[in-house]
Amino acid sequence: MFYGANRAGAKVSQGVRDVFWLMSMQAGLPAAYDCIKAFSETDFREDLKKVDVPTLVIHGDDDQIVPIAVGGLRSSRMIKGAILKVYEGAPHGLMSTHQQRFDADLLEFVRQPALAGAARGR
């Protein structure tokens, strides 16, 4: 589900699956449980309202882990001036399944003149 491999026609490489399996096997069960518990029970809404730096939100519209309606759409509205990019058909692990597009969008974002100028001034 993380990479959408359960979807008909999904093209998730064996390498991506193997790396995910390896990372999963290296995680301790208490740590994995605590991570999911923290993410599912913590309310970050007030924190998001305080973000005051340029922000890029990238979310797949077929994310089965964090649905776009409660993730990317909501957070991009709560962060003032956030840029939202929605990847049609993309899963939660889109940074692997849509790597070239993700990398290009990220580079385009960080190369914005206003962002580059802010980084030089710090």
Nearest C-alpha neighbor of 71 from the set 90, 88, 92, 52? 92
CATH number at residue 54: 3.40.50.1820
pLDDT (0 to 100) of residue 39? 87
Number of domains in the chain: 1
pLDDT (0 to 100) of residue 74? 95
Query: Residue 67 belongs to what domain range?
Result: 14-120
Q: How many angstroms separate the CA atoms of 11 and 14, rounded?
A: 9
Which tokens hold the place of 47? Answer: 């924190």
Q: Are 82 and 56 in contact (CB under 8 A)?
A: yes
Q: Are 63 and 71 in contact (CB under 8 A)?
A: yes
pLDDT (0 to 100) of residue 117? 59
Which tokens hold the place of 100? Answer: 């070239």
Taking the CA atoms of 25, 28, 29 and 32 in sequence, report the sign of the dihedral they define.
negative
pLDDT (0 to 100) of residue 113? 82
pLDDT (0 to 100) of residue 62? 97
| Residue 5 counted as domain residue | no
pLDDT under 70: residue ranges of the chain: 116-122
| Residue 4 counted as domain residue | no
